Structure 1
């Protein structure tokens, strides 16, 4: 019994490792020269650069389990407790730090003390948080309205939406409040902010993503007897099932399509996935990262959020990149439609002055290098109505399964969602193989 997995991102890697652990031989097919999918690294002028800043939360149990399987879980730093400094041009706007009260009470003091908002707005945020706690994120009606509309209807005025809810939810959903489905936003709030006390503690990689994920996965899969085909393009999937790779058919007892929804729609036949024509409607949302190398330290925090500025989040990437002197900051811009087509020079003209407005030390520092990375299709658009377009892992054809953060994982399009999808597909494959053996 063997399985072919198409796609070497986190979903495909997770499925491959889960199957190998129960003795199922796997062949992993990846078109790129590396594993890791949207989480990868490259080298520039002696520095290791991630294509974009990725973080996770303590509640991302499947993703953390993947790191343990890969043996890289010691190379991440997780906060002792959720703690985010929020910058505003000219100073610190506020700080969100959870208390040691049991969940969901742990975040209420942070909201009540959030100095970026007037006292009246802080009290309204506490009431909104209590209303969020009572939500069922899976309720169909919540998928039909935006997070911004729901928050406004629950007393959240523009300033609170802009200076509290948007920095948190835009980073999680890669969508502005008025473009994000309330179901997905509610899931994030209930699970992370209003769930277990430690659920929202933020984890940051201490290694380049290429080492944390891709290189480690290649090593683990091959050590486990798996076969990894890089620079191998899957051209078709037949109902046998077979996968045609670079013109050559690969037979299998089961196939997992762990690729973005556009590629899955192309590879899956109409009989296998009769709803595949709906998948392109999920669309794609971009993320842009502006990387700035200074000649001296300008930020004394591992990361910070920002309000009143085009900067959304800024991260210190000095140590993971290998920079010996100065400081390397990465500005992460979610829902980046307004930035994606701008040139590096245009982005520099915006963000170097903005960083100087946020970070007083940057006003006296020299920019040694600045470059931009762009993920045009970083996630699908998690807009109202999108949940209905996300398929499950099973298809109409026995032995062919879907995986990817865009499938119906119950999570937003995140690393956690990708890993969960791979584990679900692997579980269904194991059940399918048992049924085949019993025939």
Structure 2
């Protein structure tokens, strides 16, 4: 009989690991504490429409996530740009955009920055000089993880204008923190990988389907088709080493497995794993958490023809048209995505309504004269870990101090920020280790 592997956690990392392990011919049991799968990337129904818990995009450089969708048969659920173009909404209503040319990297962005109307000519030159210097950084250098991106930008001539209209526009969305608080190592990774090293890497893909239909249910079906067990409402309280096997303690039963992948948030992982694994509650606590808030508005008529846009000098960060993906039959459904949303996390609904309806009316003139039928807010208090200086040394590898026990999650040491791509990469790594260890190969 094939070895039995338990995967603890049904988020994107756990689903990826489970799919890999099932394909390797192993017996897989996926255990999720909640009533649903999806972890930090899930959908729900509200008044007849499909709502994602957060707005996600996929860049062309997110190769492993796209490969997963191809495997699940849902790759056409991403609408990918032919060429990077980011519409920018400015306070004075002037049209602006960041876009790439057909030139090879790094020249592909030079023309776009030179024409970027949200910055003065002098500030565009500042950005170009800093981009050249940024391309020379090595994101794997541990010394970079001890510095903030904001300090590095200040040393390289950046000012409030370039921070607001460019660097934070991308850093806040990608790292869920302001440049002043972001790890320089992670920021260098984001800007080099997405914008500077390959011409097409930053082309933006937006889901055409709710996350539930894009990867959650398809992954569940993929597992069931391969005779894996998928169990929700099955919280694992601890994992213990039992001679050459593992014993998993649930609320009302015990399970045994030959290997375990723990793919849950860091604080839960530290509680579940035995101390010999080498990942402590103190280490998990050091990673911290950062919130994301999403403001949802459904207008009675369309107010913009943009599929998405970023905003500068506004409390609005990003706006996405979710009308079709949500199944809204008439009018237009816009979602405002607010990363690093500490200041909005506990703001009462009436205040959010007051601020963001007024901002949408200012940024999108048609919104000022169009009634809205629905307004609601979703809040993710622990959307990502806190991706600041020192976070790199706190992120554990997939391998633990116990052979056969591995960690997965976008918070582990993937080299990527806390994203769907990072989650998928972590799942692959954990599954590869388990497969090799069960075959007598890699050791912790």
- Between the two proteins, the alignment pairs up a number of residues equal to 438
Native 8 Å contact 2:295 2:336 kept in 1: yes
The residue correspondences of 1:389-408 to structure 2 (distance < 5 A) are 389-408=394-413
1:92 CA displacement: 3.4
Q: Distance in 2 between matches of 1:167 and 1:16?
A: 35
1:436 CA displacement: 8.2
Q: Comparing 123-132 with 303-312, which one deviates more in the overlay?
A: 123-132
Native 8 Å contact 1:171 1:334 kept in 2: yes
The residue correspondences of 1:20-31 to structure 2 (distance < 5 A) are 20-31=22-33
Q: Does 1:178 align with 2:180?
A: yes
Could you tell me which residue of structure 1 aligns to residue 348 of structure 2? 343
Q: Distance in 2 between matches of 1:40 and 1:345?
A: 26
Q: Does 1:265 align with 2:267?
A: no
Q: Distance in 2 between matches of 1:294 and 1:45?
A: 15
Q: Distance in 1 between matches of 2:273 and 2:359?
A: 46
Q: Distance in 1 between matches of 2:319 and 2:110?
A: 25
Per-residue CA distance 1:248-299 (angstroms, 9 max, x = gap)? 1111110000000010011012112254421211100000000000011111
Q: Distance in 2 between matches of 1:103 and 1:21?
A: 37
Per-residue CA distance 1:142-191 (angstroms, 9 max, x = gap)? 11111111111111111101111101111000001111111100000000
* Alignment partner of 2:323 out of 310, 318, 323: 318
1:245 CA displacement: 2.2
Per-residue CA distance 1:54-95 (angstroms, 9 max, x = gap)? 111000011111111211111110011110011013313521
1:239 CA displacement: 1.4
Could you tell me which residue of structure 2 aligns to residue 14 of structure 1? 16
RMSD (Å) for aligned C-alpha atoms:
1.4
**Unaligned regions of 5+ residues in structure 2, if any?**
none
Native 8 Å contact 1:285 1:337 kept in 2: yes
**Unaligned regions of 5+ residues in structure 1, if any?**
none
Secondary structure of the corresponding residue to residue 130 of structure 1: helix
Could you tell me which residue of structure 2 aligns to residue 65 of structure 1? 67
Q: Distance in 2 between matches of 1:352 and 1:387?
A: 38
Q: Distance in 2 between matches of 1:318 and 1:274?
A: 43
Please, what TM-score do these two structures have when normalized by structure 1?
0.98
Secondary structure of the corresponding residue to residue 301 of structure 2: coil
The residue correspondences of 1:331-370 to structure 2 (distance < 5 A) are 331-370=336-375
CA gap 1:274/1:181 in 2 versus in 1, 3 angstroms: closer
CA gap 1:302/1:236 in 2 versus in 1, 3 angstroms: same
Native 8 Å contact 1:41 1:51 kept in 2: yes
Native 8 Å contact 1:272 1:396 kept in 2: yes
Could you tell me which residue of structure 2 aligns to residue 163 of structure 1? 165
Could you tell me which residue of structure 1 aligns to residue 332 of structure 2? 327
Native 8 Å contact 1:39 1:213 kept in 2: no
CA gap 1:93/1:387 in 2 versus in 1, 3 angstroms: farther
Secondary structure of the corresponding residue to residue 311 of structure 1: coil
Q: Comparing 331-340 with 104-113, which one deviates more in the overlay?
A: 104-113
Q: Comparing 324-333 with 43-52, which one deviates more in the overlay?
A: 43-52
Could you tell me which residue of structure 2 aligns to residue 289 of structure 1? 294
Q: Distance in 2 between matches of 1:404 and 1:319?
A: 30
Give structure 1 regions of 4+ aligned residues with deviation exceeding 2 angstroms.
274-277
Secondary structure of the corresponding residue to residue 99 of structure 1: coil
* Alignment partner of 1:419 out of 389, 408, 424: 424
